[in-house]
Amino acid sequence: MYCTTSSLLGVFVNKALLLHEMSWVKAEEQLRRADVALLPIGSVEQHGPHNPLGTDYLIAYKLALQASARTSTLCLPPIPFGVSAHHRHFPGTIYVKPESLRAYVRDVLCSLADQGPRKVVIVNGHGGNLHSLLEVARELRGERKAFVVVYQWWDAIKELYPKEERGHAASLETSLNLYLHKDLVDMSRAVDEPLKKLSYELKGVYVPWDTRDFTSSGVMGISTTASEAKGKEVFEKALKELCSLIEELRRIPLDRLLKA
């Protein structure tokens, strides 16, 4: 059985401007008029025994879809895979190298800029992608090709809940999953796992830790307090901030943004 994007995502795509659902004729018109575009990016990686592997890109895509609908902003298809090698010990994690993500995203953004939109909001659902995405954004701005910003939902709402609920696969991510796609969450498997204390302390040193160094379940913090209501609150707050960012980018002339 084949399902359209609309049937899979329901209300979230009622008014979204989805590039991949347009013909080239319709796309030509939209690309010519668009000044801002959205590019959702995430990862396919472990999110504890209770959350789907696609958590990061699924949340990013839902945010981008609803922001597109509310602000009439062109939305590109999501890039699902990210820089997730640190989760590789958990089955189902699919990751790419940082240089692979940089090259891929750069090609996508250059292709987009050649056709119209040169202001782009990357809706990033996975923190491991951030350094690679910022490198691309810096390059494209330096070349005066495009002005790219990276939006991360957890940074926009971090004052709402305590740190132990904001960890990887913890209460906030789980709550968003319950709100956005409840059928993919198995709360009977939810666990609370504080980060393991290492046998030694290092100060002023960066170490290439893997997730399994800190957690055996994949959860970093408290996940059992998750709820659909909490997910709705987090989503609406994150969405409001994303929409405000889009409108602010629209307001500022491109030449001013590209000025080094």
8-22, 43-57, 220-234: segment of lowest average pLDDT: 8-22
DSSP string, 189-247: G--EEPPPPPSS--SS------GGGT-SSS--EE-TT--HHHHHHHHHHHHHHHHHHHH
What lies within 8 Å, CB to CB, of 45 at 6+ separation is 53, 56, 82, 84, 87, 90, 92, 93, 94, 95, 126
CATH number of 15-251: 3.40.50.10310
pLDDT bin (cut points 50, 70, 90) of residue 33 is very high
SS3 92: coil
Tokens 């939810």 correspond to: 190
Q: Where are the domains of the chain?
A: 15-251
Q: What is the pTM of this model?
A: 0.92
* 79-97 tens-digit pLDDT: 999 999 999 999 999 999 9
